């Protein structure tokens, strides 16, 4: 694919970007280099190579969920700045 001024202007419009004339020339050059690099990647033989789902070889270690009574409702209310009976009081946010 050939990158020209029209292509850069169309992409810039879609991305809501504005370029000055000098920047357009640099974008044409950069985008052409990127496409040339992608063409080089197409030449690599990937036959028999499994696709990656992750770049990390780490394995998740799962554990069973255990219910722990670390903070009871009453204890939480006792640490709240303001509360009414069984409810937390918070500042009004809507006028």
- Within a domain: residue 37? yes
What is the tens place of the pLDDT at every residue in 14-64?
999 988 888 899 999 999 999 999 999 989 998 888 888 878 878 888 888
Q: 0.75 exceeded by the pTM?
A: no
50 in any annotated domain: no
On whether residue 17 sits in a domain, the answer given is yes
Residue 31, domain CATH: 1.10.20
Into how many domains does the chain fold?
Answer: 1
- 65 pLDDT above the threshold of 70: yes
Helix 5-14 vs helix 21-42: angle between axes, to the nearest 10 degrees? 100
Residue 66 lies in a domain: no
Instruction: Give the domain extent around 15.
Output: 5-42
pLDDT at 71: 67
């Amino acid at each position: 694919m050939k990158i020209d001024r029209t292509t850069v202007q169309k992409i810039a419009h879609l991305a809501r970007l504005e370029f000055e004339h000098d920047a357009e020339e640099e974008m044409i050059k950069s985008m052409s280099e990127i496409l040339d690099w992608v063409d080089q990647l197409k030449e690599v033989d990937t036959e028999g190579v499994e696709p990656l789902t992750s770049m990390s070889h780490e394995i998740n270690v799962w554990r069973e969920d255990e219910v722990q009574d670390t903070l009871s409702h009453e204890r939480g209310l006792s640490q709240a700045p303001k509360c009414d009976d069984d409810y937390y009081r918070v500042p009004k946010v809507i006028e």
